[in-house]
Structure 1
């Protein structure tokens, strides 16, 4: 009899241990994300009265701070315009600056409603998040300082800096097959190479190089666009967010049809 009681006590204790373990695993699976709440749907956003949008604050001219510390740029304009369409007022938005490495995770972890932070639409990213219709077509351009260089062909047999392991390498090889490519690890290193006349040009994304031209008048973008890369708004996946995605996509499509996005891109000096 005592053996039977001991056996049942052991089984009950084992059940308690297993239940506690399962509960701990369940809890830690949420704590690991840092967030337990879910991304907001349209009714909740309307009740809350504002959007939360991740943006860049150090990338002129898409999203950067002016002399007074205020956020501005093409993507800031888009965020405020979407606030008007979704909530009726441009100031109904909280902008959250985000690092490049966190542009998708803030949406995946439900820290923001969506992100407008120079995210190129790719197939691999579309498996994780929903990507809007493109609001701007970025792409590779070449920036130079030497006024004698007017066209891409003028760079034949010259040195061109490119970011290591970037897709721009193939673009430059196609347009200037006999140029000598010099790998750099950052945009700042690329600018340093041009400034010291170590290279004649630097090939990279127009959305970054346009900011250079605005900050440093001695630089110019050559007219040839080497590649095209669509920039999209990052939104959460799931049927519950269908209305949010539909409203954002319809709004961007309307801005494109009306020419508003083109006008704002030109205003911010984007090619």
Structure 2
């Protein structure tokens, strides 16, 4: 088991002494239990996965998963330190071992699997389409319609493959995409369903169409290596249990995830 160490200088009447203690950020389960808290990277701006309420408190589906892991592993749902991360920093927080793991809307793919380890999926995300038009009910209703999508988004390829009859128009941001719909330049907006669920909660005149261009699993991210294997296996065991009990589906539904 690999551990990093930091040296602490302590002075006494008999002279200077050096004490060596394990790094707080080592990712093995034994160290976490000794530390008595989890350190978890999360999103704080993606409703309903991880976001802040009016009082600034973190909440959401992924936040609840992290809290239940703290309860299962350490006996208290509050035995946890959250570190909010941007999309760009989600993996580097894990590989740099500044957190034990990340629950931050990370989809599993082959390129990421080369540098980090993944848990079993806790939710099946994917590319969906949002609209407020009552005329769009089925995939065939999208023929010759214009859908907005973020510029250079990875979802573009899936949209072109699944919906070749749809015209795509680029947007620089989600708010710009919404403006394209409001101005009549697009009938809908395509993005990850987990993000669109938050859009619907904020703007209930919109709805997510009942089909997807792709399906992508969301999973918890761990450092690669033997030191995190025991923790990852324990988390996998808990996720399988919560899935079989229906807790994951129940909480996803509670948070408005389709």
- TM-score w.r.t. length of structure 1: 0.83
More strand by share: 2
**Which residue of the partner structure matches residue 173 of structure 1?**
160
> Unaligned 5+ residue runs, structure 2?
1-22
**SS of equivalent residue, structure 1 residue 169:** helix
Alpha-carbon contact 2:27-2:227 (below 8 Å) kept: no
Residue 76 of structure 1 is matched in structure 2 by 63
- The answer to whether the 8 A contact 1:153-1:176 is kept is no
Give the structure 1 partner of residue 257 of structure 2: 270
Instruction: Decide which of 162, 169, 175 is 1:182's aligned counterpart.
Output: 169
Deviation digits for residues 124-166 of structure 1, max 9, x if unmatched?
A: 1111111111111100111002222222221211111122233
Q: Residue deviations 1:53-100, cap 9 Å, x none?
A: 000000000000111111111000000011111111111111111111
Q: Trace 1:242-261 onto structure 2 (pairs within 5 A).
A: 242-261=229-248
Cα pair distance change 1:175/1:240, threshold 3 Å: closer
- The answer (yes or no) to whether the contact 1:64–1:73 under 8 Å persists in 2 is yes
Q: How far apart, in 2, do the equivalents of 1:53 and 1:118 lie? A: 13
Number of residues paired by the alignment? Answer: 236
Residue among 117, 127, 131 paired with 1:144: 131
Between Structure 1 and Structure 2, the one with more helix by share is 1
Q: Does 1:194 find its partner at 2:177?
A: no
Moved over 6 A (4+): none
CA contact (8 A) 2:151 2:171 kept: yes
Q: Aligned-pair distance for 1:37?
A: 7.1
Residues 164-173 or 248-257, more deviating: 164-173
CA RMSD of aligned residues (A): 1.4
Which structure 1 segments of 5+ residues have no match?
A: 1-35
- What's the TM-score, normalizing by structure 2? 0.87
How far did 1:115 drift? Answer: 0.5
Once the two structures are superposed, what CA deviation does each residue of 1:187-243 show, in whole Å capped at 9, x if it has no partner?
222112112221111111100001000000111111112210111101111112221
Highest Rg: 1 or 2? 1
Instruction: Tell me the distance in 2 between the aligned counterparts of 1:40 and 1:199.
Output: 46
